[in-house]
Each structure stands twice: as structure tokens, then as C-alpha cells.
Structure 1
Amino acid sequence: MSKTEKPLSTLWGCELNESNKEESFKTDDTNHQHQLALRTMCLGHTAKDEFNIVELITGEGNNSAKAVPIATLHAKSMPTVNLSGLDLHPPVTFRLKHGSGPVYVGAEHVALEEYSDEELDEEMDEEEEEEDIEESPVKKVAPKNGAGKRKKPEKGEDEDASDGDNPPKKGKGRGRKPQAAKV
């Protein structure tokens, strides 16, 4: 029996400010692979007119830890930054190196959960059944008294034809009158 990994995703976020300069994302779970997919960093509405520099510290310990600035935010010129596509493996720490914030970090925590092939097949079958139920079309029932049927015109009958006694009818759905060209 082989094992397959299925991603489970949850929202993760933090606030960096004068009283909370650092926030870490780490996990003690060794049974699953974890990833932090960054989405955005933005200043709060109370941010001062100053530069706010956020750095990312990856790894643990003094030897392997590496700090890299990833965002410089300013209330008037750059209040938010899109970081989609930046996927990190824990442990990672966000530090407000300069400024007083508040800076909000928004990310997605993805954990890969292991499933056996049998469990995954059963779950996929259940999802397909749910989709079939949701996507089944509604049957339309025709009225029994014939009220919904259109009457076919008889041969030789033309609605737009004009004879002297019956001019063509005017009304909705008969097209627009041509407009005179403006010079």
C-alpha cells in the first residue's frame, strides 16, 4: 500500500509593531511537511509617516540563521506589498527592523497530510458523488394544456407584409429605426 500526500491549508497571520517586533512561524509536527506561503504585508491605518522595514530570518541557531529584508513599507508611497509566490519552510521569523508599524503579515499555512491510496480513493469517490448531486440539471416540465407552445404561422402569411388595409405592426422586438447621420 503506497502513501499519498494531500495538502491542508489554513490562514496564518501576525502583527508586528513597537511592542511586538518579532513573530515566528514554526511547528513541532514531524509527521507532515509544512510550508508557509506568503501572500501580503500591509501597514495598518494607524501607521506613522515613516519607513517600516520587515526582514525575514530563516533557519535556527546563530550559524544557519540568515536575515534578509523582504519589504519596505511607507504609509504614503507603499502601504502594501504582494508576496505571492514566496513559499517558506519553517522555522521562519518576521522582524520589524525599522519603524513602529503596525505591519500585518498574511500567509497560508500548508500541511501535507499522508493518506493511503485506499483512503484517498474513497474520499475522491465521495467528492465525485457530491459534485454529481450539485451539478444534476433540473428537468423542465411542459404545461399539459399547451399554453407554452408557439403557434406556427400558416403558409403565405408574412407579419411584415403590408397591404392597403393592414399596415405592418409596430412594437417591441421589431428592430430600431435607422438614425439620420449627423453632420
Structure 2
Amino acid sequence: MALENSTNDSCRSERTIALVWGCELTKEAPTYTFEVPDDWSYEQQLALRTVCLGEKAKDEFHVVEILPPKDSKESAPVCIANLKLSVLPMVASLGFDLNPPVTFRLKSGSGPVYLAGQHLTAVNAWNDSEEEEESSGDEEMEESSKESIKIPDIKHSSVAAKKKTGVAAQEQSQTKGAGRGRKPASKK
């Protein structure tokens, strides 16, 4: 599934393609590395959205962490979730955007633990000649839409609305009491 989002800047024009991404960590396969081929020239990013336990997970602590890249000076892994079925079976992590390669590891627990998010790719939407055509088309569209939009005169419409509500109020006061099922008061 792919979603596209267009952004228009004065200096550049990009289109973002978002693909649904997910992986499973278990005791048998405790690590997963999200990476993209070296020949991909576009900017890549992984937006992690949820970390949750599977239906067959045991009620034990499941610790999920991100391992530092092999060429990094950082040596300590970063814990991103500590889940337990009876306490916290899922974590939503908005705003957790990672640049590949990223390695996830199930440090403790037997799983299954599911990670889900979006694989984002920023690509050039069009070249310079198409950009000029697009901008001139937008200007023409704006001019034609201005001509077709007619703004009603506020003074006339508000007077008409007042007259209409005044007539409705008179009709309502004339029919007041009618149709309610009340009997007229008897004279004694």
C-alpha cells in the first residue's frame, strides 16, 4: 500500500511515498535490520508507529531495543519498548523517525513482538519545465475560479433573514396552544 504526499517549496519540489512496513521479532529470529539498497538515490526514512505483542506472547517482559550501527561510536543499544501482556501489550510511538540502516533486537522475552510503521521515500515530483507548466496552470485556475464565485450581498440577505424570522415568529404565536391536546379551561 502506497500513499503519496506532495509538497511544494520555492526551491524544490518533492513527492513523499509512504509504504506500510512491519516486522516480527521472536526468540528464533530476535533481530531485524531495516535497510535500503545503496543504489537508491532518494532520501529514505522509517517512521516507527507501534510495537505490540502477538496473540501467542507469554506474560513475561519483552524488551525491544535498537542496536547502534556497526560503524558508529555509540556502543550502547537504545531500549524503545518494554512490554508485558498483562500490563502493557502495545506502545504507540509517534514521531519516532529513523534513518536506515536500523537494527531492532528482542533482548528478552520469547515474542512474538510486532513492529509497524511507514517506509518513507522522498522523490523529485517533476523537473523544471513541468514545474513552470504547473504554476501557469494554477494561475489560470485561480483566475477562472474568482470569476465564477459570486459573493452574496450581506445587507440584503440579513434583511431577508430578519423578515423571514419575523413572519415565522408571528405564525408561531398565532398557533400557540393549538395542537397540544389541551382542553380549554372551564368557567365556574
CA distance in 1, matches of 2:128, 2:93: 34
CA contact (8 A) 1:40 1:83 kept: yes
Q: Which residue, 45, 50, 64 being the options, matches 1:40?
A: 50
User: How far did residue 7 of structure 1 move?
Assistant: 1.1
TM-score (norm 1): 0.64
User: Structure 1 residues 159 and 32 mapped into 2: Cα distance closer, same or farther (>3 Å)?
Assistant: closer
User: How far did residue 78 of structure 1 move?
Assistant: 0.8
SS of the equivalent of 2:67 reads strand
CA contact (8 A) 1:4 1:117 kept: no
Matched, 1:96 2:106: yes
Q: Which residue, 16, 22, 36 being the options, matches 2:31?
A: 22
Give the AA of the match of 2:45. Answer: Q
Say what the alpha-carbon RMSD is for the aligned residues: 3.8
CA distance in 2, matches of 1:26, 1:49: 31
CA distance in 2, matches of 1:104, 1:121: 45
TM-score (norm 2): 0.63
Matched, 1:106 2:109: no
User: Structure 1 residues 39 and 159 mapped into 2: Cα distance closer, same or farther (>3 Å)?
Assistant: closer
Unaligned runs of 5+ in 2: 1-10, 142-166, 181-188
Comparing 107-116 with 72-81, which one deviates more in the overlay? 107-116
CA distance in 2, matches of 1:69, 1:158: 71
Unaligned runs of 5+ in 1: 130-153, 172-183
Structure 1 residues 15-64: Cα deviation after superposition (integer angstroms, max 9, x where no partner): 10111111110001431000101101000111101000001023234756
Which residue of the partner structure matches residue 86 of structure 1? 96
Q: Percent identity?
A: 38
Give the AA of the match of 1:96. Answer: L
SS of the equivalent of 2:59 reads coil
Structure 1 residues 98-128: Cα deviation after superposition (integer angstroms, max 9, x where no partner): 00011000111111102324445667869xx
CA distance in 2, matches of 1:5, 1:79: 37
CA contact (8 A) 1:9 1:110 kept: yes
